[in-house]
Amino acid sequence: MYRILKTGTSEYDEKKSRFLGYVFAIESPEEAAEKICALRKEHYNARHVCFAWQVDGILRSSDDGEPQGTAGHPIADVLTHRGFDHCLIAVVRYFGGTLLGTGGLTRAYSTAASLAADTAIVMEVLTGYPLTLTLDYNDFGRASYFFNQKKIPQTGIEYGTAVTVHLMVPSDLKGETDRKLSDITSGQASPEWGDETSYGLSQDKVISLS
């Protein structure tokens, strides 16, 4: 599952009709409604403002006067295919005077939504365990190799007579990490595990969801 960190936008022209795509992060259906209302006010001359949103697995879409299934559904397909949650994708259409037909409309709305999604900055939502670990420098070198190999992200590090490192260990790697640390330190490791939690990950950086 992915959430939006930064809004994405697009502009796509098809037979003189202009399609403006938007990808927003939302926290609730009410926020989706507010953003759709704001788009309608901003683009008061537009013919249609079609959309799809998803919050905690609840999915809604609207063709906003376009032929049934030609706008909201293809936008929703982009949203679900990308694995977006807590997300609104809207496409504003300025009619250019030429009818596109159902196939043309479906492609245009899908394209505008996809292009906007491409420009959004997203984070993957995962579950894991915070880990704080203090190691001597030799053991830390071996542990770092394991952390890098398994792509376990660091959230902080402190150097002194020993190294204290803070990590977010994906849930499915907790057991393996415990065993590996015990092996590296000959059973002397004293890892401090936090409770399982959800977190965001973007470009190898951990993002708090609280």
> What does DSSP say about strands 205-208 and 192-193: parallel, antiparallel, or unpaired?
unpaired
Domain ranges (residues) in the chain: 2-119, 124-208
**How many helices (DSSP H) and strands (DSSP E) are in the chain?**
5, 12
Q: Going residue by residue through the chain (210 aa), what tens digit of pLDDT does each one get?
A: 999 999 999 999 999 999 999 999 999 999 999 999 999 999 999 999 999 999 999 999 999 999 999 999 999 999 999 999 999 999 999 998 888 899 999 999 999 999 999 999 999 999 999 999 999 999 999 999 999 999 999 999 999 999 999 999 999 999 999 999 999 999 888 999 999 999 999 988 999 887
Tokens of 62: 């609207």
Domain 2-119 part of CATH 3.30.230.30: yes
Q: What integer pLDDT is reported at residue 138 of this predicted model?
A: 93
Burial degree of 94 (CB within 10 A; 0-12, 13-18, 19+): middle
Q: What integer pLDDT is reported at residue 127 of this predicted model?
A: 97
Q: Distance of alpha carbon 118 from its chain centroid, rounded?
A: 12
CATH architecture of 124-208: 2-Layer Sandwich (3.30)
Q: What integer pLDDT is reported at residue 210 of this predicted model?
A: 72
Cα separation of 117 and 42, whole Å? 21
